[in-house]
Chains A and B, each alone.
Chain A
Amino acid sequence: MINPIFQKIKFAYLSAVSLVIGMKVTIKNFFAPSVTLDYPRKKQPMTANFRGMVDLKPDACVICYQCIKICPTAALYLSHKTVPDGEKKKNEITKFTYNAELCCFCGLCDEICPTDAIFMNKMYEVSAYEHEQILNIDLMDEQKYTHIDPKYSLADEVKSNEANTVGKVTKVAPPPTPAATTATAPAAAPTPPPAAAPTPKPNSTENPTTNPGT
């Protein structure tokens, strides 16, 4: 007889205590900062290897056509002509366009580019009003995306791209000797980016390539 009553009192007591504990938790969250963002007014920077629109540093391009070959959807178009440069000859891009409608944002062009001339920028508000606005974007143009985002600036995108190490080709370290390979345990080393084919030594000072994001 006593036991059930005692159980009930204990139950009521525990319920009251749990209510107090729960309310303490909620009020703590009430004064905690918000985890969501006041989006259109405040924006979060994209991660280092975010793949936005395809962008180009025109001076860095060596016209190797690697990006054209690897592009799975044929979204890129490149043509060039040979012009005399003093005694020598040099290649000059005549047309380099990007079709955002075809692009599947795989980032292969970014990864394959030997000079990191072509890269994926950090744009994510890329809707356009006209179909033509995304069809043939002239990558050679400095102001290529200002019709989509008036605040677009190539210099800023290049700067933010520097944090992205995916597909960045740097001076490749010499292939490790078998002794060094066993000593430095390459299995534990971070996976190298696909473009830097030979496994770099993890402690190599010549190779700053790290792979934090992937």
Chain B
Amino acid sequence: MELTIAVLSVVGFISVSAMFLVWGERKVSALFQNRLGPNVVGWHGSLQSVADMVKLLLKENIMPAQADKLVWWLAPFFVVVPAVAVFVTIPFGKNLIVHDLNVGILFITSISSVTVLGIFMAGWGSNNKYSLLGGMRSAAQIISYEVPLLLSIVLVIMETGTLSMQEIIKAQAHGWFILKPHLALAFIIYLISATAEVNRVPFDIPEAESELGAGYHTEYTGMKFGMFFVAEYTNLFIISAIAATLFLGGWQGPWLPSWFWFLLKAYGLVFLSMWVRWTLPRVRMDQMMGFAWKVLTPIALANLLISGWFMVK
């Protein structure tokens, strides 16, 4: 019974959150560009994504004739399922968590790595040069940025000595981790590499519209495309939620209910991500890989080494 409620609420939250993030992204981008954005369906166009979702559900499912059928068909699920599974251990509030695994953060990082498999399957299965290029770029990018991402998370684990998300939040009762200089640096590294992990500008070359025509999900139509879209925005929420948990004190905050603080922090980081997206241009592939291996990884490693030295000493 409890499990049913948990599953239903997680799925409900994901769909509502993803739909409103799509609307939010469009609205925020419009405001950044002095436009109005969607404004017809519902209050300020807030039901636009619902209408889009209905449209996607009703659309014909077109499969490319030369596609690798099984791989092509399975790919969207490989992208969506990790995004849903990660929600098991995201602490929305003081007692609002599906299951507080004692390997929480490890679970999240390992499960979300499966996403790259789905993306590469989509790129390969579509049998289209743009999709394949997008999938390859995505695989290279996600694997590269996983290294600094994990190194910055490891620092938090070293600080708290636990992998459980709730324990990490409780360790920040007397000051958020972002206030400590070495963890602030880790936070910046985390934000940059997480942005790359979810393929967002300035690291969105796997789905660069102008050069790859949306990359790995070019050949998908209807709800299969919708699944990629939902997964993309869910992942955006997930990285923001993890950043809020690990560095910004999670659900902790005065007066207001804990879930409100958590959502405020998470969506604040989502807004930051959108803000960066509509500010920066796209980087080149070699620049991006060079940045991951030559800049972020050494800084993260040095940060880990130096702060580890001080922790042991």
Give the B-binding residues of A (Cβ under 8 A): 12, 19, 22-23, 25-27, 29-30, 32-38
| Chain A residues within an 8 Å CB radius of B276 | 23
Q: Is the CB of B275 within 8 A of A26?
A: yes
**A19-B279, A19-B280, A22-B279 as given contacts; A30 in contact with B39, CB under 8 Å:** no
Cα-based distance from A27 to B32 in the complex (angstroms): 7
- Interchain residue pairs with CB less than 8 A apart (30): A12-B295, A19-B279, A22-B279, A22-B280, A23-B276, A25-B279, A26-B32, A26-B278, A26-B279, A27-B275, A29-B31, A29-B32, A29-B33, A29-B34, A30-B31, A30-B32, A30-B275, A32-B34, A33-B34, A34-B34, A34-B35, A34-B36, A35-B34, A35-B35, A36-B34, A36-B35, A36-B36, A37-B36, A38-B36, A38-B39
Interface residues on B, range: 10 to 19
| Chain B residues within an 8 Å CB radius of A19 | 279-280
Give the interface centre of A19, A27, A32, A34 by most chain B CB atoms within 10 Å: A34
| Chain B residues within an 8 Å CB radius of A12 | 295
Interface residues of B in 17-74 (CB under 8 A from A): 28, 30-36, 39
Looking at the assembled complex, report how far the CB atom of B200 sits from the nearest CB atom of chain A, in whole angstroms. 15
Looking at the assembled complex, report how far the CB atom of B34 sits from the nearest CB atom of chain A, in whole angstroms. 5
| Chain A residues within an 8 Å CB radius of B34 | 29, 32-36
Looking at the assembled complex, report how far the CB atom of A140 sits from the nearest CB atom of chain B, in whole angstroms. 40
| Chain B residues within an 8 Å CB radius of A27 | 275
Known interface pairs A12-B295, A23-B276; 8 further A-B residue pairs with C-beta atoms within 8 A, sorted by A's residue number: A19-B279, A25-B279, A27-B275, A29-B32, A29-B33, A30-B28, A30-B32, A34-B30
Nearest residue in B to A37 (C-beta to C-beta)?
B36
Cα-based distance from A185 to B35 in the complex (angstroms): 46
Cα-based distance from A38 to B31 in the complex (angstroms): 13
Cα-based distance from A35 to B33 in the complex (angstroms): 9
| Chain B residues within an 8 Å CB radius of A25 | 279
Contact of B275 among A23, A34, A35, A36 (CB under 8 A): A23
Nearest residue in A to B28 (C-beta to C-beta)?
A30
User: What are the 3 closest A-B residue pairs judged by CB atoms, nearest first?
Assistant: A26-B279, A22-B279, A35-B34
Interface class of chain A by DSSP: helix
| Chain B residues within an 8 Å CB radius of A34 | 30-31, 34-36
Looking at the assembled complex, report how far the CB atom of B195 sits from the nearest CB atom of chain A, in whole angstroms. 12
| Chain B residues within an 8 Å CB radius of A23 | 275-276, 279
Cα-based distance from A30 to B275 in the complex (angstroms): 9
| Chain B residues within an 8 Å CB radius of A26 | 32, 275, 278-279
Cα-based distance from A193 to B192 in the complex (angstroms): 62
Looking at the assembled complex, report how far the CB atom of B22 sits from the nearest CB atom of chain A, in whole angstroms. 18
Looking at the assembled complex, report how far the CB atom of B281 sits from the nearest CB atom of chain A, in whole angstroms. 9
Query: 1/0 per position for B272-289, CB-CB distance to A under 8 A?
Result: 000110111000000000
| Chain A residues within an 8 Å CB radius of B275 | 23, 26-27, 30
Cα-based distance from A22 to B125 in the complex (angstroms): 39
Give the interface centre of A12, A27, A29, A30 by most chain B CB atoms within 10 Å: A30
Cα-based distance from A171 to B136 in the complex (angstroms): 77
Cα-based distance from A6 to B28 in the complex (angstroms): 38
| Chain A residues within an 8 Å CB radius of B295 | 12
Cα-based distance from A32 to B28 in the complex (angstroms): 12
Nearest residue in B to A28 (C-beta to C-beta)?
B32
Nearest residue in B to A20 (C-beta to C-beta)?
B279
Cα-based distance from A34 to B30 in the complex (angstroms): 9
Cα-based distance from A30 to B33 in the complex (angstroms): 7
Query: 1/0 per position for B97-116, CB-CB distance to A under 8 A?
Result: 00000000000000000000
Cα-based distance from A35 to B32 in the complex (angstroms): 11
Give the interface centre of A26, A27, A35 by most chain B CB atoms within 10 Å: A26
| Chain A residues within an 8 Å CB radius of B35 | 34-36
Cα-based distance from A12 to B295 in the complex (angstroms): 10
Cα-based distance from A36 to B36 in the complex (angstroms): 7
Give the interface centre of B34, B39, B279, B295 by most chain A CB atoms within 10 Å: B279
Cα-based distance from A29 to B32 in the complex (angstroms): 5
Nearest residue in A to B281 (C-beta to C-beta)?
A22
Cα-based distance from A16 to B143 in the complex (angstroms): 25
Cα-based distance from A37 to B33 in the complex (angstroms): 13
Cα-based distance from A12 to B299 in the complex (angstroms): 13
Cα-based distance from A42 to B136 in the complex (angstroms): 47
| Chain B residues within an 8 Å CB radius of A30 | 28, 31-32, 275
| Chain B residues within an 8 Å CB radius of A38 | 36, 39
Cα-based distance from A33 to B278 in the complex (angstroms): 17
Cα-based distance from A192 to B127 in the complex (angstroms): 66
| Chain A residues within an 8 Å CB radius of B279 | 19, 22-23, 25-26
Cα-based distance from A38 to B39 in the complex (angstroms): 8
Cα-based distance from A29 to B33 in the complex (angstroms): 7
Looking at the assembled complex, report how far the CB atom of A34 sits from the nearest CB atom of chain B, in whole angstroms. 5
